[in-house]
Amino acid sequence: MERIIDTKVGKIKGYIKDNNRCEFNGIPYAITERFELPKPYIIDGIYDTSNPILDCVQYGTFRDNSEEFYEKEFRGGLTFNYVESPMTLSITTPLEPKKSSVLIFIHGGGFENGMVNEYPWGYDSEYAKRNIILVSIGYRLNVLSLYRNLNLGLHDQLFAIKWVYDNIEAFGGNKNNMTLMGQSAGAMSITDLLYTKKLDGIIKSAIMVSGGGVIPGLLGPLSKDKFAPFWDDVDKMAGINNEDDRKNVKIDVLWNAWYERSRNKYGFRTVQPGIDGEIIKDKPQKLLKNREELDIPIMLGVTSQDFIAPIIYHLALNWAKDNDKKKKSNVYCYFFDRCLPGNLYKAFHAADLWYLFGNMDKSWRPFEDIDYKLKDTMIDYVVNFINNHDPNGDGLKEWKPTTRKFKNFKYFSGSDSDSYIKPSKAKKMVWRTMLKDHGPM
């Protein structure tokens, strides 16, 4: 069954699924040329969301990554359509939305990879039945975003969020109650966006999973001058001598030059956003010290086998302590420690996404009753946070904000998901991860 929504940019056709939700997949929110800022996409006629979803060109466009862990975990069996201008978003609404709160998800993937509709977040099996609208946004990645510190992916994200704010009422959403959620690079992106102040009055709370407080490039300088030799080297390898070359060089040549130089000579910083003076205005150390970000309630998540686990954990803890010291909004921290069934990896980086979205029927893993119960508990807390910017309520056990005096994190392990983990135990676990018990990263 179809449903047509009349928005400010045109009419959009969605489809009712399982008689309990309506899906609008792959809506174009912007369009642009290579290395230019996003521009409004105006719909001519009725946009049919049964069209293929467009995602940004990335590693899987040019190389075989079928054996890579996250390819199997989150994308196995899916097909993708890769383009240079991938500014699309997918919206899932309740069957009969009524001023529904809105959750906007920004995927991770190290600013290099990632798609709008991967298994964990691309199929809403939980939020629609709780009267929440879920939006998943796509944005430019890798060289198409990062070239010479342009940070075009971050500009895309801002544009998409404002598009949702301007149009979500047509879908039955409450534009005055929107929560941002991001994982890994998505969480790092949210950190950046909160510092712009351009979301003031638009976003009411944020959930940052495995990356809250991590401003890209924390390991070194990010200025245009510092990055210029790298980009000059990329241009040379790609045969770029002028602006026409930049706009017209084949994408595989451009991407391969960026990939080869970043891997073989320049390293980690070249796959992260740089200081652009607009979104990332200064060195990360200075931004974190001054803490002038948008003051809203925050939920921060860490897994026990997270990527650079000690850094992720300590940045979350320090954000919470600093908010308490400066009398800012509450920060609710959690520590995810469920060993997922199916292989030897435990609570790996991004493992908690299966529980935060609940799409376990899309996974190959033999999830158990304990996993479904943990999923329900975590989503109930998240729904409360989206609606009220506080995870407490609805018969759940109290979740205290993390402060200078109360440094514990809510502990989600499956067998003991209503308790807290103390810093002494959490630090021991994350350092073991770093030094010995590695995840798939």
Catalytic residues: 184
Residue 87: left (phi > 0), alpha (psi -120 to 50), or beta? beta
Q: Count the alpha carbons within 13 Å of 162 in the hemisphere toward its beta carbon.
A: 15
Other CB atoms closer than 10 Å to residue 424's CB: what's the count?
Answer: 9
Residues 390, 297 contacting (CB under 8 angstroms): yes
Q: 40 has which bridge partners?
A: 30
Strands 10-17 and 2-7: antiparallel
Joined tokens for residue 430: 């994350």
Helix axes 152-167, 185-196, angle to 10 degrees: 70
CA-angle at 102, arms to 280 and 160, nearest 5°: 40
Q: In what helix (H) or strand (E) does residue 102 lie, and over which residues does it extend? A: strand 100-106
Residue written as tokens 């075009």? Answer: 152
Burial of residue 430 (CB within 10 Å: 0-12, 13-18, 19+) is buried
